[in-house]
């Protein structure tokens, strides 16, 4: 049984929905969660989309089926709401590559530099940052900063290399961090998969770090850009219906295949590498979601001083969104 096979339990699903209504809770699920967790959620999306839902919801409780830094972001944007993470083991290998002490030391080496942190970072790191960004709006954020200004970009070295290449700016210093899923989506494997399916479109959604190496490889020329589309979540979901192609190679964490297949049942989707899955995203299960609602655990809070400093960087990320300039190899798409 693969991790993509949904473990349907109608009774458990119904119990979760009933208790969510009783608790006045909204359930948010990332695209990379298990299929059955996506199916029980009120909203499914990427980290930027879910951040916006967390900020806008009028629910009393937010059950965040994602990873820890995402729940922290929800707590920062909705400080008066109860934010629950069903499993505290839902961490992020990319976020773990830098902590606040390391960032402060790096800043001391580059006084006056502007700090741009990929959203896959802890609240404490965000609090030390001037901007957060997503893979979709990273180029926009960099372009909003004066060209003579030194920039510290962290923690994803692949996204950092891509941004340096696209903007042409040499004064971007890049932290050497990476996601543990990166190794599962490499240019050699992608080129082999594309050669096996020559008529397939190649769709890249570089959310959560696991496909930023692909974005960097396309911009570097290691992967042919012809037929490649760098898309937001919704752009990726819409593209199959807009395309004459019936086969699509997907370069991102395999959890998104569930939503693609559900919303485009007549199309065929192939993972660029079926081993490209985030173990942290898969720790959340339906019993854990129900347990979170029953016991109101595990509550995620962020100290007020850290939250206040992180909020500015996060709100800039949410406000900037993205523009077509962030997807130079694909159609006009915000790239969330």
Domain count, the chain: 3
Mean pLDDT, the chain, rounded, equals 86
pLDDT digits (tens, 9 = 90+) for 312-323: 998 888 777 654
The reply to whether 286 falls in a domain is yes
Task: Please check whether residues 55 and 106 belong to one and the same domain.
Answer: no
Q: Is 56 exposed, middle or buried (0-12, 13-18, 19+ CB in 10 A)?
A: exposed
The reply to whether 309 falls in a domain is no
Task: Please check whether residues 112 and 169 belong to one and the same domain.
Answer: yes
Task: Please check whether residues 170 and 319 belong to one and the same domain.
Answer: yes
pLDDT digits (tens, 9 = 90+) for 221-252: 667 667 777 776 677 888 998 999 999 998 88
CATH number, domain with residue 163: 3.40.50.10800
pLDDT digits (tens, 9 = 90+) for 21-35: 999 999 999 989 999
Task: Please check whether residues 172 and 186 belong to one and the same domain.
Answer: no
Task: Please check whether residues 121 and 190 belong to one and the same domain.
Answer: no
Tokens matching residue 302: 């962020």
**Domain coverage including residue 108:** 95-179+315-324
Task: Please check whether residues 298 and 242 belong to one and the same domain.
Answer: no
The reply to whether 334 falls in a domain is no
Task: Please check whether residues 220 and 256 belong to one and the same domain.
Answer: yes
| pLDDT: which is higher, 36 or 208 | 36
pLDDT of residue 137: 82
pLDDT of residue 4: 62
Task: Please check whether residues 120 and 269 belong to one and the same domain.
Answer: no
Distance of CA 220 to the CA centre of its chain: 22
pLDDT digits (tens, 9 = 90+) for 55-112: 899 999 999 999 999 999 999 989 999 999 999 999 999 999 999 999 999 999 999 9
Tokens matching residue 300: 């995620």
Task: Please check whether residues 120 and 166 belong to one and the same domain.
Answer: yes
pLDDT of residue 166: 87
Close Cβ partners of 29 (under 8 Å, ≥ 6 residues apart): 37, 38, 40, 41, 43, 44, 65, 66
pLDDT of residue 123: 97
pLDDT digits (tens, 9 = 90+) for 159-206: 898 889 889 999 999 999 988 776 567 777 788 888 899 889 998 875
The reply to whether 332 falls in a domain is no
How far apart, in whole angstroms, are the C-alpha atoms of residue 311 and residue 309? 6
User: Phi and psi at residue 92, in whole multiples of 5°?
Assistant: -150, 120
Rg of the Cα atoms in the chain: 19
Task: Please check whether residues 186 and 272 belong to one and the same domain.
Answer: yes
pLDDT digits (tens, 9 = 90+) for 215-225: 666 666 667 66
The reply to whether 330 falls in a domain is no
The reply to whether 68 falls in a domain is yes
The mean per-residue pLDDT over the stretch 44-48 comes to: 82
pLDDT over threshold 50, residue 54: yes
The reply to whether 103 falls in a domain is yes
pLDDT over threshold 90, residue 296: yes
pLDDT of residue 28: 96
pLDDT of residue 213: 64
Task: Please check whether residues 190 and 150 belong to one and the same domain.
Answer: no
Task: Please check whether residues 73 and 118 belong to one and the same domain.
Answer: no
pLDDT over threshold 90, residue 40: yes
Q: In the chain, at which residue ranges do the beta strands (DSSP E only) sit?
A: 25-30, 43-45, 61-65, 82-84, 114-118, 131-133, 151-154, 172-174, 201-204, 228-230, 247-251, 268-271
The reply to whether 268 falls in a domain is yes
């Amino acid at each position: 049984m693969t991790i993509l096979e949904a473990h349907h339990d109608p009774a458990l699903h119904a119990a979760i929905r009933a208790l969510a209504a009783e608790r006045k809770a909204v359930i948010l699920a990332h695209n990379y969660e298990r299929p059955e967790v996506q199916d029980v959620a009120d909203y499914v999306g990427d980290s930027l989309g879910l951040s916006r839902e967390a900020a806008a919801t009028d629910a009393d409780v937010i059950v965040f089926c994602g990873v820890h830094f995402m729940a922290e972001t929800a707590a920062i944007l909705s400080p008066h709401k109860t934010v629950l993470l069903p499993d505290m083991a839902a961490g992020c290998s990319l976020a773990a590559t830098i902590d606040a002490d390391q960032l402060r030391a790096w800043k001391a080496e580059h006084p006056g530099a502007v700090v741009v942190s990929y959203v896959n970072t802890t609240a404490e790191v965000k609090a030390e940052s001037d901007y957060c960004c997503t893979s979709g709006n990273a180029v926009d954020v960099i372009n909003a900063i004066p060209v003579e200004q030194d920039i510290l970009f962290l923690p994803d070295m692949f996204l950092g290399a891509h941004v340096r290449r696209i903007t042409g700016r040499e004064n971007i210093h890049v932290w050497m961090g990476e996601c543990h899923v990166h190794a599962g989506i490499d240019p050699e494997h992608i080129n082999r998969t594309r050669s096996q399916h020559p008529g397939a479109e190649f769709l890249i959604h570089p959310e959560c770090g696991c496909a930023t190496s692909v974005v960097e490889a396309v911009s570097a020329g290691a992967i042919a850009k012809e037929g490649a589309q760098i898309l937001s979540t919704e752009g990726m979901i819409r593209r199959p219906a807009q395309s004459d192609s019936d086969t699509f190679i997907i370069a991102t964490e395999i959890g998104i295949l569930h939503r693609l297949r559900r919303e485009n049942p007549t199309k065929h989707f192939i993972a660029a590498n079926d081993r490209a899955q985030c173990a942290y995203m898969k720790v959340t299960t339906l019993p854990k979601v129900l347990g979170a609602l029953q016991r109101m655990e595990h509550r995620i809070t962020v100290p007020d001083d850290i939250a206040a400093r992180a909020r500015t960087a996060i709100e800039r990320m949410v406000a900037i969104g993205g523009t077509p300039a962030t997807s130079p190899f694909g159609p006009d798409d915000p790239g969330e």
